[in-house]
Amino acid sequence: MATGSEKFPNMHPVEGFRLGTTSASIKVAGRKDLVLMEIPQGSTAAAVFTQNKFCAAPVIVAKQHLQQAQPSYLLVNTGNANAGTGEQGISDSLSCCQAVANATGTDFHQILPFSTGVIGEPLPVETICAAVPAARDQLSENGWADAAEGILTTDTRAKGASTQFDIQGSTVTISGICKGSGMIKPNMATMLGFVATDASIDEELLHAALRKANGKSFNRITVDGDTSTNDAVVLVATGASGVEIDETNFDQFLTQLTDIFVQLAQSIVRDGEGASKFVTVNVEGADNVQEALSVAYAVAESPLVKTALTASDPNWGRILAAVGRADVNDLDVSKIQILLNSVLIAENGARAVSYTEAQGQQAMQAEDIEITIQLNRGQVCETLWTTDLSYEYVRINAEYRT
């Protein structure tokens, strides 16, 4: 189950950034499950990682290597998360980095490893290392589609976004892929995402761009409220276009980058495990960002709200209750208005006088649903995206290891 279009977009190549995909048969024989990405010399790179305290071994290694050298290759495997694997997991990640270094003639500190899949099982190191040369041989600037397929786990579709735009009379390209379907709750980053641009950006501005774009996209989605042990988002700038991003054109670049990030983030929600609804939660008139997000997440992560969405049941009382339990000081419920796809369902602390069950039923039939909560206590607005909670979600996760 998923919502929206399944069509994978046309991906513009980013000069110098190459992707190679192969099958190492890590979990399923013959399935594309190993991706190697090559970063050209002279590029800059930035990354954000999960804040889950049980972060996976590849996250630990990638963080360390980023501090030691500019990355030349990213290695991604699916089928095994290499999380909850202790010191052996660290050693296994380093072995995979060394395999890439041997196959490409680079220092192993220039390799960033990423893993996704089942937690707590040993990484099949020999299988992955043996497949690295095949991934290297497939490296291509046009390898986006295969790579997008090669990083999937419970996802039902590949996810990508790409754009070209003009800065100072020159064309700039941004392309990216991501994976994620379940265990999705933002906390600095969520899922795995890899985005590249041919613009030239110094490290400080690149990190700033990543933080800002991530904050409005991947950090504004939730499927089930669970933050993964393996989440990471990487942004690479190759500089091949010759366009330098500085303070004068940073906002223009950031707007385009954020749009790509939002497209990728929303594609994760649309492919949320068992999802039949794509839900936008708007909180308006908050006093500050934190209380706006508190209200938004209270609604988006309420099992009662989410199951009502699955049933297309306009049970507005569940939304009202979720708003009321959010961590907001001195919340005056008499000022709150709640709308469901533009239908006013609650105001003055009760059901809206104009509301009818027929209106609510009609609004809930849509695949895309927008819930708007007007707090009427300030000027801050925040938006996040989520899914419903279906029988299929339970089945997928009940059978995940079987």
Task: Determine contact, residues 229/50, Cβ cutoff 8 Å.
Answer: yes
Q: Are strands 368-374 and 337-340 parallel, antiparallel or unpaired?
A: antiparallel
Cβ neighbors of 251 (< 8 A, separation 6 or more) are none
Distance between CA atoms of residues 144 and 165, nearest Å: 19
Q: Which of 22, 190, 372, 387 is catalytic?
A: 190
Instruction: Choose among 275, 334, 264: nearest CA to 300.
Output: 275
Joined together, the tokens standing for residue 277 give: 């609804």
3-state helix, strand and coil shares in percent for the chain, rounded to the nearest 5: 35, 25, 40
Task: Determine contact, residues 224/183, Cβ cutoff 8 Å.
Answer: yes
Name residue 77's beta-bridge partners.
34, 115
Angle at 121 between CA 120 and CA 123, to 5 degrees: 125
Q: Are strands 380-387 and 221-222 parallel, antiparallel or unpaired?
A: parallel
Cβ neighbors of 292 (< 8 A, separation 6 or more) are 283, 286, 375, 380, 381, 382
Instruction: Choose among 32, 84, 34: nearest CA to 58.
Output: 84
190 has catalytic annotation: yes
Residues designated as active site: 190
